[in-house]
Amino acid sequence: MEKGVRISLGMLIVLISPMLSGCIGTDSFTDLGLRHGIPGGLTLACLDDSTYTSMVIEIDYEPGYQPESSSTDLLKERLDSVCKKPQGIELIFTETDFVNEDIWDANDVRATGWEEKSHDPRDGSTLYWQVIFPAGVYEDDSVLGVAVDASTISIFKDSIDDAENFLRRPSAEKIENSVLIHEFGHLLGLVNTVYTSPEDHEDSEHPGHSNNEDSVMYWAIESSSIANFFDNELPTEFDIDDKKDLQGLADGTITCTDQLWKP
């Protein structure tokens, strides 16, 4: 009788253990960021066309939170100018009910983003990057947008609307234009996230950002204090140093780290 129980327990453990290790393995793989990566973790996949010849930007928005067409047109233009995608860059818009309409943290953005992704970020010869436009605000409500991993961004339109001052200089639309391109700049590894620039253009007080207020990567772009720094005209372009960094990463003269894929 006793022996029988032991055998059953043993069998049970044998049966359960592969399932356990499978789940834990998958989870820790994710936790280590080996699947999600860090912002900039797919920079080379974007700058190089030896494997990924086309790109899709997936835009998932809560009803009423569709991005301005001026924002997404500019985004396509900027990505076309730096990413090497001979088969083109396509934007796909999907109205989505995100359930959470309140307060978001980075984990919420990542989890929701991955639930809604239509493809793995690297699928066949296509690279998929995604931006969600949810209702609600980031836990630090001075944040207008965040890049949470190698392929996932969130833009907080409610906070962008709040950042517009009564003169509408700059307008919420212009702020959104710049914030959207700024966050995609983080997916491109700007500034110094997955490399070290030969130029001294990272803001020492705001790591990962430009010290040039004429660059879209200027730190104040994604902050609700944006209207204190700019009067109407906001940068929507990468500056010469940002572009030189991307060029150096593309041609291999600047070493790129933390990549989910390398040519």
The phi and psi torsions of 165 (rounded to 5 degrees) equal -85, 175
**176 binds Zn ion, rule: CB under 5 A:** no
Looking at the Cβ atoms of 203 and 222, the one nearer to Zn ion is: 222
Query: Distances from the Cα of 229 to the Cαs of 153, 169, 176, 183, 234, in angstroms?
Result: 24, 11, 15, 18, 9
CA angle 29, 156, 104 (to 5 degrees): 45
Query: Distances from the Cα of 181 to the Cαs of 35, 66, 172, in angstroms?
Result: 24, 16, 14
Q: Give Cβ neighbours of residue 210 (< 8 Å, ≥ 6 apart).
A: 190, 191, 201, 202, 203, 217, 218, 219, 239, 241, 242
Burial class (CB in 10 A: 0-12, 13-18, 19+), 54: middle
In the complex, least distance from residue 162 CB atom to Zn ion, rounded to whole angstroms = 18
Looking at the Cβ atoms of 56 and 181, the one nearer to Zn ion is: 181
In the complex, least distance from residue 209 CB atom to Zn ion, rounded to whole angstroms = 5
In the complex, least distance from residue 18 CB atom to Zn ion, rounded to whole angstroms = 43
The phi and psi torsions of 101 (rounded to 5 degrees) equal -125, 25
In the complex, least distance from residue 191 CB atom to Zn ion, rounded to whole angstroms = 9
Number of residues that bind Zn ion (CB under 5 A): 1
In the complex, least distance from residue 186 CB atom to Zn ion, rounded to whole angstroms = 6
Looking at the Cβ atoms of 56 and 190, the one nearer to Zn ion is: 190
In the complex, least distance from residue 249 CB atom to Zn ion, rounded to whole angstroms = 18
Looking at the Cβ atoms of 196 and 253, the one nearer to Zn ion is: 196
Looking at the Cβ atoms of 85 and 201, the one nearer to Zn ion is: 201
Looking at the Cβ atoms of 135 and 144, the one nearer to Zn ion is: 144
- Tell which positions 193-232 bind Zn ion, by CB under 5 A: 222
Q: What single DSSP character describes residue 202?
A: B
Residue 238 near residue 79, CB atoms below 8 Å? no
Cis amide bond preceding 63, omega within 30: no
Looking at the Cβ atoms of 120 and 140, the one nearer to Zn ion is: 140
In the complex, least distance from residue 25 CB atom to Zn ion, rounded to whole angstroms = 33
Residue 114, CA atoms < 13 Å, CB-side half-sphere: 12
Q: Which residues bind Zn ion (CB under 5 A)?
A: 222
